[in-house]
């Protein structure tokens, strides 16, 4: 943690979560009500025409139908994603719930989860096993009382008890630090923005662009230019909304892995065990086939094995789901060295 106090980092993490959600909601409002305002300006008549016989008054958009519609759609989809996101992630990975252990490694997993739940100070989450030989793990859920931890069969056969304990501590840290709560909500908001973007472009493709043509026409002194500028900004926003929001979610996920690593070291007092576990996970030959792209950011290691996650720098921060494994391992080894020398876990003093 570079000497930073771990608990202050956790508090900062929560504040940034609230700010991030607020940014998403403000952007969402701009997409909805901004579109209404553009329609309001673009359909404003130059002068009120005199009613003659059967002539019809041109349509003037005054009620924010689009903003209200997209808001209700967003609330509905976000609520559905929030309530069912964890179930969908577990279902998509083919995970099955470990209710009653029938094998020694399953009983060890149950024992470790119970121990680490006590160490982290949160209720014991439900435990799931993913039928995949590649070692990996992830946490999902909406809060501490509605959380799930899933590990692959390969993780149980690859790691020893201390290493398994460290990985479970990492996943419990994601729950305790509100990471799973934030990522579940972000996933829902990203999905809403993607749907709105697709619907908008379909509307424009079916003749909605005529509104843009009217917006640049004469009849209003100085208003046409403003409408064109707003319309261009709005269209760019709609076009880039799914891309930017998805990249933002990935960047958030990448930065929080370091905090979860440090929190695991705090819970177990054994950062070397997590370093050893990450090395074994990194050295596994095959990707985690059971975990799909949409859930990659939830895992302790990238299940797709993408090279971008082995790099550092701006591009990797934008497009990667995880920080470089070598950097994570080096930080944990440094923590282990300092803890061995001083008896104090770095970042918690």
Q: Do strands 147-152 and 137-141 pair parallel, antiparallel, or not at all (unpaired)?
A: antiparallel
Instruction: Report the alpha-carbon distance of residue 172 to residue 188 in Å, rounded.
Output: 22
DSSP string, 70-82: HHHHHHHHHHHHH
Q: Who contacts 209 (Cβ-Cβ below 8 Å, separation ≥6)?
A: none
Describe the chain by its helix, strand, coil percentages, rounded to 5. Answer: 65, 5, 30
Put the strands of the sheet holding 96-97 in their side by side order.
Answer: 96-97, 126-130, 147-152, 137-141
Helix (H) or strand (E) holding 97: strand 96-97
Q: Which of the 8 DSSP states describes residue 139?
A: E
Report CA dihedral (164, 170, 171, 173) to the nearest 10 degrees: 140
Alpha helix positions (H), the chain: 6-42, 65-93, 104-120, 153-158, 161-176, 179-203, 210-215, 223-268, 271-283, 314-319, 325-342
* Residue among 106, 153, 163, 171 flagged as catalytic: 171
Annotation says 171 is catalytic: yes
Q: Which of the 8 DSSP states describes residue 206?
A: I
**Strand segments (E) across 188-324:** none
- Cα 304 from chain centre: 17
Q: Which two tokens stand for residue 320?
A: 């990667």
Contact indicator for 344, 5 with CB cutoff of 8 Å: no
Q: Which two tokens stand for residue 184?
A: 């579940």
Helices (H) and strands (E) in the chain, counts: 11, 4
Q: Who contacts 280 (Cβ-Cβ below 8 Å, separation ≥6)?
A: 135, 158, 159, 163
Active site residues: 171
């Amino acid at each position: 943690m570079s000497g930073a106090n771990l608990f202050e980092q956790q508090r900062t993490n929560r504040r940034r979560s609230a700010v991030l959600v607020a940014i998403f909601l403000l952007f969402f409002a701009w997409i909805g009500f901004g579109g209404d305002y553009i329609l309001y300006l673009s359909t404003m008549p130059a002068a009120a025409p005199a009613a003659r016989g059967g002539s019809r008054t041109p349509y003037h958009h005054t009620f924010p139908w689009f903003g209200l519609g997209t808001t209700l759609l967003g609330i509905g989809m976000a609520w559905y994603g929030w309530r069912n996101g964890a179930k969908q992630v577990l279902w998509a990975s083919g995970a099955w719930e470990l209710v009653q252990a029938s094998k020694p490694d399953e009983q060890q997993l149950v024992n470790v989860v119970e121990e680490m739940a006590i160490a982290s100070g949160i209720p014991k989450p439900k435990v799931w096993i993913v039928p995949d030989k590649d070692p990996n793990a992830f946490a999902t859920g909406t809060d501490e009382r509605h959380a799930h931890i899933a590990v692959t069969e390969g993780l149980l056969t690859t790691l020893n008890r201390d290493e398994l304990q460290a990985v479970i501590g990492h996943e419990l840290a994601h729950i305790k630090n509100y990471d799973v709560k934030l990522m579940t909500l972000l996933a829902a908001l990203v999905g809403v923005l993607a749907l709105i973007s697709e619907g908008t472009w379909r509307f424009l493709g079916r003749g909605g662009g005529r509104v843009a043509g009217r917006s640049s026409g004469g009849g209003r002194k100085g208003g046409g230019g403003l409408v064109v500028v707003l319309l261009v900004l709005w269209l760019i926003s709609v076009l880039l909304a799914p891309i930017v929001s998805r990249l933002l979610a990935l960047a958030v996920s990448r930065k929080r892995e370091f905090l979860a690593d440090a929190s695991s070291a705090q819970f177990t007092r054994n950062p070397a065990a997590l370093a050893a576990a990450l090395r074994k996970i990194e050295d596994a030959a095959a990707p985690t086939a059971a975990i799909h792209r949409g859930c990659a950011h939830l895992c302790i290691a990238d299940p797709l094995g993408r090279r971008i996650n082995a790099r550092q720098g701006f591009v990797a921060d934008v497009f990667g789901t995880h920080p470089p494994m070598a950097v994570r391992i080096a930080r944990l080894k440094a923590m282990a060295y300092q803890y061995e020398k001083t008896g104090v876990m770095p970042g918690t003093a």
